Structure 1
Amino acid sequence: MKRISSRDNALYKELKALATSSQARRRAGRTLLDGVHLCEAYLDAVGLPAICVASDSAMVNPEVVAILERCAGTHSVVLPDALYGALSQVEHGVGLMFVIDTPQLDAPTELSGAAVLLDNLQDPGNLGSILRSAAAAGIREVHCSAGTVFAWSPKVLRAGMGAHFTLQIHEHADLASLLKTARLPVLATSSHASASIYDTDLSQPVAWLFGHEGQGVSAELLALAGRHVAIPHLGPIESLNVAASAAVCLFESVRQKLSRK
């Protein structure tokens, strides 16, 4: 492994930009995976990374050593702990990260199956949690509007826990066009809807539309959705967090599908 010991090293400067700037990640078409779990998930689902980065102290960690052995032949570098720490956003991490190329998918003209559509989500943790729930519920397609947080940011990746690598994530999606051409039911969550998800047939493929954390789904997209549904609740809380709402909806769909078998 090549050792980098200077902050002025050109590659280190590139790594620092990827770690700290969303614009740099978008420009480079690359992002960082931080930690053993994400790196293992990437190796298992996708393959070798563009660059493997480890800290000095990680070189004695058996899990890290095993991953580095799997990455034999890949461009790999080792950094002093202080330099590595300036890149990592994980407190008390193990000292391993991958640089990966972010998928560049063609913009679809229609939904090809069960999907999640996200309108202007702002919180990285919410987006990552929804991606994780979608993958666990058997969803393959996720379509993010232009106003939604970057799906491949390190914070979203950590919250997704490897879900990214099993999903087709389309960013800057034209949600209105997708809704207009949808051949399957589109369900939008709304706290003002009268229909309950528990009285809705979710045993067949559907597309779920979830909106901004505070404002919900935009009026334009609500008008295009086939059905508006609500999650009943008993307490004096007006609505659930969007990630919690998505999990409830997706797994009510899973429950209905399993009950039909």
Structure 2
Amino acid sequence: MKTITSRDNAQYKELKHLAGSSQARRKAGRTLLDGVHLCQTYLQLRGMPVQCIVSESALHNPEVADIVGQLEAQHAHVTGLPDALYNAVSQVEHGVGVMFLIDTPERVVTAPLSVSAVLLDNVQDPGNVGSILRSAAAAGIQQVYCSGGTAFCWSPKVLRAAMGAHFVLDIYENVDLAPLVSGSTIATLATSGYATQRLYDVDLRQPVAWLFGHEGQGVADDLLSLASHQVVIPHLGQVESLNVAACAAVCFFEQVRQNQA
């Protein structure tokens, strides 16, 4: 294990820059996974990280010690930091004290939609994006396509909200959704509060592409016009609409229900 004790260390400065800047993460093609659960899940599903960063006090935690032991057995790169330096990098308040530096996958759309997928049009809240990813993974959906205006999927807030879902999904970012929808070989369903067709009246026993939009404006009009179905989720009570993440979860698990019925 290498130990860094100086704030002026070039490697430490790079870690701190990555932790605090979405632009830096995008440019480097790397991000940080903060916390035991994310690190354990990455090890299980994806393998070795580029680097493990651990705080001095966290080495006494049995779960952290197990992670470090697995990495050192594979001769992976582990860096120790004094607690004060680690806490200045970590975005998690009162965290356990372990994080992974990983490469973020870069995927290019090469084929039309043919399996169940999620399309996110300008969904800007990281918590909503992470929750949608988590629900999609739980429902057995594997592909997620994000427009340029959607929150960066590999940001710390999205990663924490998704709870490891990233590692079982194929995530495409900065996608032009219009050609994807128009060229789809499967039905595309856009949610809209103005739709007349109820979600529960649509046959979801085959692959579909779910299209969800901005928290305030919803799906853009041009995409709505391209979707094969516009659906609404009926709801009771004096509220205008559902949160987009809640809406997505209802849609995904109505599809699961129909396929298991």
- The answer to whether the 8 A contact 1:109-1:177 is kept is no
Q: CA-to-partner distance for each residue in 1:88-123, whole Å, 9 max, x for gaps?
A: 111211100000000011223411311000000110
Whole-angstrom CA distance in 2 between matches of 1:106 and 1:173: 9
> SS at the partner of 1:71?
helix
Q: CA-to-partner distance for each residue in 1:62-94, whole Å, 9 max, x for gaps?
A: 000001111111111011111111111112111
Who is 1:60 aligned against? Answer: 60
Who is 1:9 aligned against? Answer: 9
**Structure 1 segments unaligned to the other structure (5+ residues):** none
Say what the alpha-carbon RMSD is for the aligned residues: 0.7
Please give the residue correspondences for 1:168-247 in structure 2 after superposition, counting only pairs within 5 Å: 168-247=170-249
Who is 2:28 aligned against? Answer: 28
Amino acid in structure 1 at the alignment position of 2:33: L
Whole-angstrom CA distance in 2 between matches of 1:144 and 1:70: 34
Please give the residue correspondences for 1:238-257 in structure 2 after superposition, counting only pairs within 5 Å: 238-257=240-259
Who is 2:158 aligned against? Answer: 156
Q: CA-to-partner distance for each residue in 1:206-246, whole Å, 9 max, x for gaps?
A: 00000000000000000000000001001110100000000
Task: Give 1:144 shift.
Answer: 0.1
Whole-angstrom CA distance in 1 between matches of 2:249 and 2:12: 39
> SS at the partner of 1:152?
coil
Q: Does 1:123 align with 2:125?
A: yes
Amino acid in structure 2 at the alignment position of 1:86: A
- Report the TM-score when normalising by structure 1: 0.98
Q: Does 1:45 align with 2:64?
A: no
Please give the residue correspondences for 1:89-100 in structure 2 after superposition, counting only pairs within 5 Å: 89-100=91-102
**Structure 2 segments unaligned to the other structure (5+ residues):** none
Amino acid in structure 2 at the alignment position of 1:65: A
Q: CA-to-partner distance for each residue in 1:181-213, whole Å, 9 max, x for gaps?
A: 101100000011111111111111100000000
Task: Give 1:162 shift.
Answer: 0.3
Amino acid in structure 1 at the alignment position of 2:11: L
Whole-angstrom CA distance in 2 between matches of 1:153 and 1:108: 25
Extract structure 1 runs of 4+ deviating beyond 6 A: none
- The answer to whether the 8 A contact 2:114-2:186 is kept is no
- The answer to whether the 8 A contact 2:34-2:92 is kept is yes
Task: Give 1:249 shift.
Answer: 0.4
Who is 1:76 aligned against? Answer: 78
Whole-angstrom CA distance in 2 between matches of 1:224 and 1:47: 40
Comparing 121-130 with 67-76, which one deviates more in the overlay?
67-76
Q: CA-to-partner distance for each residue in 1:153-206, whole Å, 9 max, x for gaps?
A: 011000010000000000011100001110110000001111111111111110
Task: Give 1:139 shift.
Answer: 0.5
Whole-angstrom CA distance in 2 between matches of 1:114 and 1:210: 14
Whole-angstrom CA distance in 2 between matches of 1:26 and 1:248: 31
Whole-angstrom CA distance in 1 between matches of 2:71 and 2:109: 32
> SS at the partner of 1:229?
strand
Identity of aligned residues (%): 65
Whole-angstrom CA distance in 1 between matches of 2:23 and 2:215: 23
Q: CA-to-partner distance for each residue in 1:9-55, whole Å, 9 max, x for gaps?
A: 01101100110001110111100000000001000110000000000
